[in-house]
Structures are given as C-alpha cells and as structure tokens.
C-alpha cells in the first residue's frame, strides 16, 4: 500500500484538544490532503475507555484521516491496532514527539526518542499485526541534550514506517523559539522514505521556507486552529469565508456527536476562531456562558463578530 495524500503537500497535524472531526473536515475542504486525529492513548483503548473511543469518530466528509496513537508498550500497540474501532483508519501514526510533562514522564511521546529501538519495536509490532496499514512516525529533534532525530528516523524507516514527520524543536523547547529548519533538511537527506516538516508554518513565506528544506510534505498544527482556510491560502487559492460561517460549518460537521461533547469542543475552538477580532473577549465570555449547542448557535448567528 502506497502513501497517498490526495494531490496535496499539506497535512493537518494531530493536535490535542483541537483535531476533532470538525476541524479535520474543514481542513479537508480547504485542501489538506491528509488529516490526523488528536493523539489517542493506546493503553486507554486497551481498557475500552469510552471517552477515548469518542476521539475516533469520523464525519462523512473526511476522505483521508489517520489516527495517532501514543504509548510505549509494543504489545499494547500490537493488540489495539486490530480493534474494529481502528479498522476505518488506513494510517497509524506513532507519537514520538509530545513534550507534555505527564506524557513524557510515563515514557511516552518524545520520551520514546531516548530509546530508538523501542520506536523500531512499536513500528514492527503494528506492521506484524496489521500489515495492510501504513505506519508513520512523528518526532522532535530530541530531548535532554541528545538531538538524535536522524537515528530515530532511520529506526522508523528500517522497521517499515512509510513517512516520518519532524517538528524542528527539542522536547525542552516545547513551542518556544524558532523552528530549526536545518534539522528537517538533514533528516530529509538521511531518509529514503517521505519526510514531512512541521513547525511555525503560518503563511506563504514560512510555507516556502519549509518546502525549501526539500521535504515531501508540510504538516500544519497551530496555524490551522481557528484557521482551516490556511490550507487553501498556502496553495494560492483565494478564500472568501466569514468567521461566523466557519464556526457554524464546524458545528454542523460535529452535529452527530453528543450535545455536551459538541458544546465543550466548540467553546475551545471558538476562542481561536475569534482571536484578534474586535470585541473577541466579550464574545468569548458570552460563548462560555452558553449551556446548550442551540443557545451557542443562536449567539453566533446573531453576533457581529466578523
């Protein structure tokens, strides 16, 4: 099975708390060739956690979505990738880049980079259980002073991964400072499988700078939150859409979810849709006071947020 990204070099990253089916559907509409779910705990799937399973819901408008799993036990990965709930995903992404302390302290996320052989074991375990699926790996530059992203990328490649994504920051840098484009270029030169560059792509100039590293694809994360039209804009397409229209479309895409889930998700998403807009603080205060999705939709429809 070949990696196919729908005639686009753009990928929506797995963004915890934001890469819901609404953002993924909008991103696809605007030109993302591949989208990922927010990161999902392999161990929580093992224990049949219902809230975790809700993260795996796809809308009818999603055409190419992969699932990102995090964990550190190859046996757990081997087990859960065979679960029926994951059968709709053709791509399994392994999170080897999350810098959040509680994830890192458990040996998950970017902590996996301390032992590249474990990354290799996880890739092999998934490929052995579900050889028909593609496995991709998301990395950071490294952690604790050891920037071994090339070693980890090679381990992933040699174990059967089809793509490696590199966020050009260390675990300790979190999201501060500038992304290291040189590290992304060096990884691309070292691997024979496709590489996607990630970090700080928010406009055409930063997109061009990332492409100049030689990467095959570009993964957009924070630049897409509240701004799914970025996928069209980066490809030179003119977009005429209001913030109000985007928010209402987002709600429509997640309308099949439980009402409480819809409301909670949209309260977080809307704060980013209206960021920097006139009277955004007052509007967000009103949004967070709503008690139902119907009340929220009425507020948006009657607002002057655009």
Active site residues: 98
Q: Which two tokens stand for residue 147?
A: 């920037």
Q: C-alpha dihedral over 254, 255, 260, 262, to 10 degrees?
A: 30
Secondary structure (3-state) at 20: coil
Residues in the chain: 306
Residue that has been written with the tokens 């655009």 in this structure:
306
**Residue 66 near residue 36 (C-beta atoms within 8 A):** yes
Angle, helices 293-301 vs 280-289, to 10°: value is 150
DSSP H/E element including 15: none
Q: Which two tokens stand for residue 86?
A: 């994951």
Distance CA 137, CA 13 (A): 12
Rg of the chain over all Cα atoms, to the nearest angstrom: 19
Distance CA 135, CA 68 (A): 10
Please, which contacts does 57-60 make with residues 24 or more away whose CB atoms are closer than 8 Å?
A: 57/21, 57/256, 57/257, 58/21, 58/88, 59/21, 59/22, 59/24, 59/25, 59/253, 59/254, 59/256
């Amino acid at each position: 099975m070949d990696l196919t990204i729908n005639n686009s070099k753009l990928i929506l990253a797995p963004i915890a708390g934001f890469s819901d089916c609404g953002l993924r559907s909008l991103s696809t509409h605007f030109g993302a060739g591949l989208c990922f779910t927010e990161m999902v705990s392999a161990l929580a799937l093992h224990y049949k956690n219902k809230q975790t399973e809700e993260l795996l819901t796809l809308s009818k408008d999603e055409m190419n979505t992969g699932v990102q799993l995090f964990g550190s036990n190859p046996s757990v990965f081997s087990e859960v990738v065979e679960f029926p709930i994951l059968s709709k995903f053709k791509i399994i992404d392994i999170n080897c880049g999350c810098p959040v302390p509680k994830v890192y302290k458990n040996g998950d996320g970017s902590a996996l980079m301390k032992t590249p052989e474990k990354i290799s074991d996880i890739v092999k375990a998934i490929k052995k259980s579900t050889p028909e699926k593609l496995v991709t790996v998301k990395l950071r530059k490294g952690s604790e002073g050891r920037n071994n992203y090339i070693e980890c990328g090679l381990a992933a490649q040699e174990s059967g991964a089809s793509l490696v994504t590199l966020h050009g920051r260390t675990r300790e840098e979190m999201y501060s400072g500038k992304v290291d484009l040189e590290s992304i270029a060096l990884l691309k030169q070292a691997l024979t499988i496709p590489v996607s560059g990630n970090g700080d792509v928010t406009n055409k100039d930063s997109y061009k700078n990332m492409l100049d590293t030689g990467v095959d694809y570009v993964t957009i994360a924070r630049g897409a939150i509240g701004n799914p039209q970025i996928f069209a804009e980066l490809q030179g397409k003119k977009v005429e859409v209001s913030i109000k229209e985007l928010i209402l479309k987002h709600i429509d895409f997640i309308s099949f979810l439980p009402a409480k889930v819809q409301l909670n998700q949209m309260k977080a998403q809307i704060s980013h849709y209206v960021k920097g807009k006139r009277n955004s603080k007052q509007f967000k205060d009103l949004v967070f006071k709503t008690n139902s999705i119907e009340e929220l939709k009425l507020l948006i429809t009657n607002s002057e947020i655009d």
